Amino acid sequence: MLNEWLLSLARFFDAQNWSTQIHESIYLYAWIETTHVLTLMVFLGMLFVIDLRMLGLAFPNVRASVIAERLDKPMMIGLTLMVITGVLLYYAIPVRTTQSLWFRIKVMLFVLAAINAFAFRARMQASVGSWDTDPKPPRHIRMGAAASILLWAGVVVTGRTIAYDWFDCHKELPYAMYWAAGCVDEMAAFASE
């Protein structure tokens, strides 16, 4: 049911004139994709510096709160622009993207990374006074930072693999893969055989 709803929404977006214009534009799609990648680099660059400090692997003599405070604004600007351009990239090619196993995994990892970020930030702010100047933060802070790096690395890798058609719906795949990728028409054909 969820796959049908997502595909219906994607087909609605695909029927919009703006979606077609972005996708078929000679320059616009490339500019959006380039901006997405560049803002991803800004966001992740700032985030990884913070995470490496929280792991105790970088800048051990600088207070953790100072690094987090100074890098927060450019990191959030990068995140905002990255999300906006990501939505535009989805809007430009909604049906294929919706039916991409890699896109689905990326969205799940993105949600997990966001949950981890909010929880990590809350834990860090609540306890920063007790360890802010320590070269090696407490274990729960290090675990949150490690999870952040792993989740965001997963977002980047799966985002990159969206371009490849290993599990596209037009290929012959097992039923479970059709379901995981949201290949509604192929699942219906598979079930009728």
pLDDT in tens, 42-55: 999 999 999 999 99
What integer pLDDT is reported at residue 12 of this predicted model?
Answer: 96
Q: Would 182 be classed as within a structural domain? A: no
Residue 185 falls inside a structural domain: no
In a domain, 190, yes or no: no
| Predicted pLDDT of residue 169 | 87
Domain membership flag for residue 157: yes
What's the pLDDT score for residue 83?
97
pLDDT value of position 192:
75
- Confirm whether pTM is higher than 0.85: yes
Q: Are 78 and 46 in contact (CB under 8 A)?
A: yes
* Residue range(s) defining the domain that contains residue 157: 2-167
Whether 175 is covered by a domain: the verdict is: no
Whether 73 is covered by a domain: the verdict is yes
Low-confidence ranges of the chain (pLDDT < 50): none
pLDDT of residue 189: 81
Question: Residue 43 falls within a domain, yes or no?
Answer: yes
Number of compact structural domains in the chain: 1
Any domain includes 180 = no
